[in-house]
Structure 1
Amino acid sequence: MTKLSVNINKIATLRNARGGDVPNVLEAARNIEAFGAEGITVHPRPDERHIRYADVRELKPVLTTEFNIEGKPIQQFIDLVLEVKPAQVTLVPDAEDAITSNAGWDTIKHRQYLQEVIAEFNSNGIRTSIFVDPDKKMIEGASKTGTNRIELYTESFAVGYAQGDTGAVRPYAECAEMAHELGLEVNAGHDLSLKNLRAFKENVPHLAEVSIGHALISEALYLGLQKTIEQYLNLLK
């Protein structure tokens, strides 16, 4: 079964919009775990506009499932990850002013940089994943960095699927197969939802984990958090 890791950035966004501590990020994470999710994902950014670095530090001792920290490996982020030591770190090439992640790594151009960062994380027992577009050249490049996994950036699938393009999933299936052959495990995330996850899961092999935040939290406004997570878990079985 593919694991579900819930990105809780949007919980923090809601809290920060009003100030104070409602909704409480730690309480939300504990409830998400209790409802069956197998992981918690956070993506702290330098401006701390949603998840704060302090949240990351406070989450680690209370979580009972896998903790995945996403972000661009600037020194501040690297230091945080080495301090907290999550189960997994996902490296994302974010521009500092990006609203959300909008591209994968050029694993050929940035190979040496990624090799150095990944070697440090791996030596500290932290599993690494690289955020990549569904491009076989980038998958091959990732395999030469020392990473344990890739995370397929699924926005183009979600957009194509919403427009009725049944072939939008094909590049992901091919890249997942290639990654598996190269010894990499496969994660996926970005714009996956209750509407499109079944089609993705049924067509993309070797899928170890999906990380879902914006859609899941939005759907929970209508369905409730527990019911929403249960529906995701059912789709991933």
Structure 2
Amino acid sequence: MPILYFWASKTKTSMTKLSVNINKLATLRNARGGNMPDLIQSAKDIEAFGAQGITIHPRPDERHIRYQDARDLKDVVTTEFNIEGNPIPKFIDLVLEVKPTQVTLVPDAEDAITSNAGWDTRKHSGFLSEVIAVFKEQGIRTSIFVDADPYMVEGAAKTGTDRVELYTEAYAKSFAKGYLQGIKPFVEAAKTAHEMQLGLNAGHDLNLENIKYFKENIPHLLEVSIGHALICESVYLGLENVINMYLHRLK
């Protein structure tokens, strides 16, 4: 298996942080209407197992994470707390109330099953700039969810955001088919982010199979947010074990 962009691993040798998205644990809890699994205790355990962050993505219908969960987690998370979502007024108010470490802006529709596209940072530049200014005034680090497109990364830089998060579904699909060239757009987008002095995050469909190759070849990768795959893998291997498997691959 050829390593196409191995130079990248030599330019950034520090460990990439793992932020665990706990949406799926909330889905499981909501399925029975009780409090099992206990989301608060789960967040504490995930941090104790070594994860460096907790991510939640509340949606307007609260079908998994509830807005109250964000409030309850505020004083529980001791690592980095990342709240993702579409910056509708209700979401903006929640973030300003909770004041997480980071807010990640995602352009998902209210009825979307999961996020399926990054922002058009050129078309929505004015809107994103206004929202980001509000969050940064309160000391909240900002990140914009973008496709692996240097043009969109450059557009993100003009909004004043601190970071971008690369939408990695396309990489995951190409990797699963054995097409390693699929990582090339992500390398280019990462290089552009660094040139624009933007921090770099990544997420969506990353898993134990594809995370190591991604980490090895993407320069300056600060953080990955992983939820669905990590929870699914934990059903077989155990949550503590899986978290440590990710941490090993992210060194």
After TM superposition, the score normalised by the length of structure 2 is: 0.94
Question: Identity of counterpart residues, as a percentage?
Answer: 68
Structure 2 partner of 1:137: 151
Q: What is residue 69 of structure 1 aligned with on the other side?
A: 83
Alignment of 1:41-60 (within 5 A): 41-60=55-74
1:151 counterpart residue number? 165
What residue is the counterpart of 2:210 in the other structure? 196
For CA contacts below 8 A with separation 6 or more, give which structure has more relative contact order.
2
List 4+ stretches of structure 1 deviating above 4 A.
Answer: none
CA distance, structure 1, for counterparts of residue 83 and residue 43 of structure 2: 14
Partner of 2:6: none
Give the paired residue count. 237
Distance (whole Å) between structure 2 residues aligned to residue 18 and residue 165 of structure 1: 41
**Pairwise CA RMSD:** 0.4
Q: 1:9 aligns with which of 23, 33, 37?
A: 23
**Which residue of 88, 92, 95 maps to 1:81?**
95
Per-residue displacement from partner, 1:134-168 (whole Å, max 9, x unpaired)?
01110010010000000000000000000110101
Q: Is 2:176 the counterpart of 1:162?
A: yes
Deviations 1:175-234 (A, max 9, x none): 001100101000000000000001100110000000000000000000000000000000
| SS of alignment partner, residue 110 of structure 2 | coil
Corresponding residue number in structure 2 for 1:128: 142
Secondary structure of 2:75's aligned partner: helix
Q: Which whole-Å CA distance do the structure 1 matches of 2:32 and 2:206 have between them? A: 28
Q: Report the equivalent of 2:190.
A: 176
Structure 1 residue 63: Cα displacement: 1.0
Ranges in structure 2 where 5+ consecutive residues have no aligned partner = 1-14
Q: Which residue of 1 aligns with 2:49?
A: 35
